[in-house]
Structure 1
Amino acid sequence: MPLHPQVREHLDRLAAVNFAGLHTVTPELARAGARRLTAASAGERQDVAAVTDRTVGDGVPVRIYRPLGVPADDRALPVVVFFHGGGYVLGDLDSHDGLARALANGSGSVVVSVDYPLAPEHKFPVQVDTGFAATTWVAEHAAELGVDPARLAVAGDSAGGNLAAVVTLKARAAGAPRIRFQLLIYPDLDFRRTNYSITTFAGQYGNVAREAQEWFMEHYLADARDRLDPLVSPLLEPDLSGLPPAFVLTAEYDALRDEGEQYGERLAAAGVPVTVKRYDGMIHEFLRHPFDDAAVALVDATAALRAGLKPL
């Protein structure tokens, strides 16, 4: 399909601003620009029943969202640990506040959004270890949070989708926590950067250029050889059996499209129940924009969470 007209208008507005290439600026300047862009392009944020900022574990900041439409004393809600995108260099609790709210309300779950440390100040595997520790903390403190530890999911978009997938690998290896479902939103899963969509769409349709792809990876990794580590590139994990059921959401004009779809194919081949859905005419990060199809995709994603987290 051609680009959706709403997406085309959005990209035309971005082109008119003429942002400098990410690889030409410092992480601090990139973060400031990303914050301005989020403020200018985000739609209205949904009300939720309650929002609480706190720290967990060894001082990791999180933001906890309680959904609308559930009794205030319901202590058996499902819980979703959410990891924001931004290439491990950008993003924070505020950048993905709107998406976290929509996931909470749509799925009827408590959402715990994790503000993991960013690169280059913190290199791999700090983010992975933090994500796993936060997920473990949520499972172990379910009573305090008023959630059901048997109905735990992980979710994330882009780099956050990478982290969600990697946390499930670590949980499988450790035997805990028990993760019931994984929601991977246009996930970043293969740091080799060799497939069709990553090479063909680079620098087009709002995707970062090849130089910016390298900029993100060099900030995240201390050693280029880590690109082949399954905890960096989960698509390279040789055995995907025994992982939680998944919903993998991709976009037609997203540079990360192919690796998300390939991961879905490999999960299915390993016997993991998985749904992969591509949204035609859409681009990377489209769920964070007020596009009509973003609303459709959110309905699909939250319905998958509801189904994956239904009571046993």
Structure 2
Amino acid sequence: MPLHPDLEALLDMVEIATATGKRPVIHQLTPAQARREFDDASTALDLPPEPVGRVEALRIATRDGSDIDARLYAPDRQGDGDALPVLLHFHSGGFTVGSLDSHASLCTAIAAATPCAVVSVAYRLAPEFKFPTAAYDAIDALAWLGRHAASLGLDASRVAVGGDSAGGTLSAMLALAARDEPALPRPCFQVLCYAGLGGTTDTASHRQYGEGYLLDTDTIEWFYSQYLRDEADRRDWRFAPLRAEDHRGVAPALIVLAECDPLCDEGHAYARKLADAGVPVVVREYAGMVHEFLRMGNIVADAGEARAEIAGALARAFQTRDATAVPLHRAA
């Protein structure tokens, strides 16, 4: 299917702004400049955060003695003081940009629609913090949530992990890590939205959509160069979950993809890997969409549709504490 017309108009404006010097190319900026650019674009492209019953700043202790920021979004309680299920969320941004603020709209929408609590984690960013710091921060956040859920009014037996792009990478990694580490809470579900899963830029979708569709191959490689220490890190399953030796027993998954996205093929490859390992997985590919479309509520209605689909899948998983097996499918 062709690119969605509203996105085509957006990309035309981006191309003109870039050509005339009015919009910087992200991989030609410093990381600090790129972070400001990313957050500013989020405000322009996305809807305002939805009102929820509770927003609370959190601090999560990490294994190296540091603290990282997190933010709790919770709807008004359902029932008589019942503990809320919770999505542990990780934002996009190539491990280099992105913030709690850039994903406030997405997180509040999921919290309100599911309903559930969402704990959004500000894992540490590259290049100041190279691989595997973000992976360790994600694991430490899940361990922290297991220890502190009750005091926050959350149900540690109903935890899902999820995120978009780099956040989806961290979520897939975390589902694998939690399967193998008895001390970690065992997620009941994982939501992987156009995640980087293979660690390379050589698939057919990279070749077809690696230039002119918002997320360019040059930008992807710039992100990887900020985060990774050397070529060996590309082959580490904590960066490229497709390379994990065994995917059996991980949490059931919803994989949300954008058709016109360089990362689309590795999302499908990961879905096949999970299905072959006996893991229930649903794939939803949104036709005509580009990378990051979930945070373009001001541009395309598909953003709201995808958020509603994620909320529905989470609600079902939380209701049963174990998602019902569903068939793998490709949806246009």
One-letter amino acid matched to 1:24: Q
* Inter-partner Cα distance in structure 2 for 1:78 and 1:107: 10
Q: Deviation of residue 224 (structure 1)?
A: 1.5
Kept in 2, the 8 Å contact 1:218–1:224? The answer is: no
Q: Which residue of 2 aligns with 1:204?
A: 212
Whether 1:229 aligns to 2:236 is yes
Q: Deviation of residue 201 (structure 1)?
A: 0.9
Q: Which residue of 1 aligns with 2:127?
A: 120
Whether 1:30 aligns to 2:34 is yes
One-letter amino acid matched to 1:51: V
Kept in 1, the 8 Å contact 2:253–2:280? The answer is: yes
Whether 1:177 aligns to 2:185 is yes
Q: 314, 323, 328: which is aligned to 1:305? A: 314
Q: Deviation of residue 68 (structure 1)?
A: 4.3
* Inter-partner Cα distance in structure 2 for 1:111 and 1:277: 22
Q: 51, 54, 57: which is aligned to 1:47? A: 51
One-letter amino acid matched to 1:6: D
* Inter-partner Cα distance in structure 2 for 1:248 and 1:255: 15
Q: 203, 208, 212: which is aligned to 1:195? A: 203
Q: Deviation of residue 311 (structure 1)?
A: 4.3
Q: Deviations over 1:67-96 (max 9, x none)?
A: 24635x633211110000000000010011
SS in structure 2 of the partner of residue 87 of structure 1: coil
Within 5 Å, give how 1:31-180 maps onto structure 2. Answer: 31-58=35-62, 59-68=67-76, 70=78, 74-175=81-182, 176-180=184-188
SS in structure 2 of the partner of residue 55 of structure 1: strand
Kept in 1, the 8 Å contact 2:88–2:162? The answer is: yes
Identity of counterpart residues, as a percentage? 39
* Inter-partner Cα distance in structure 1 for 2:260 and 2:186: 34
SS in structure 1 of the partner of residue 289 of structure 2: coil
* Inter-partner Cα distance in structure 2 for 1:283 and 1:31: 20
Kept in 2, the 8 Å contact 1:23–1:215? The answer is: yes
* Inter-partner Cα distance in structure 2 for 1:158 and 1:167: 14
* Inter-partner Cα distance in structure 1 for 2:30 and 2:140: 29
1:171/1:40 CA distance change after superposition, 3 Å = same
Number of residue pairs matched by the alignment: 310
Q: CA RMSD in A?
A: 1.4
* Inter-partner Cα distance in structure 2 for 1:196 and 1:74: 50
SS in structure 2 of the partner of residue 309 of structure 1: helix
One-letter amino acid matched to 2:113: G
One-letter amino acid matched to 2:212: Q
One-letter amino acid matched to 2:153: G
Kept in 1, the 8 Å contact 2:77–2:84? The answer is: no
Kept in 2, the 8 Å contact 1:154–1:181? The answer is: yes
One-letter amino acid matched to 1:9: A
TM-score (structure 2 length as normaliser): 0.90
* Inter-partner Cα distance in structure 1 for 2:152 and 2:308: 25
Q: Which residue of 1 aligns with 2:9?
A: 9
Q: Deviation of residue 168 (structure 1)?
A: 1.1
Q: Which runs of 5+ in 1 are unaligned?
A: none
* Inter-partner Cα distance in structure 2 for 1:229 and 1:45: 35
* Inter-partner Cα distance in structure 1 for 2:84 and 2:108: 15
SS in structure 1 of the partner of residue 102 of structure 2: coil
Q: 252, 257, 261: which is aligned to 1:250? A: 257
* Inter-partner Cα distance in structure 1 for 2:136 and 2:215: 28
Q: Deviations over 1:98-136 (max 9, x none)?
A: 111011112111100000000000001111011111111
Ranges of 4+ aligned residues in structure 1 off by more than 6 Å: none
SS in structure 2 of the partner of residue 79 of structure 1: strand
Q: Which residue of 1 aligns with 2:281?
A: 274
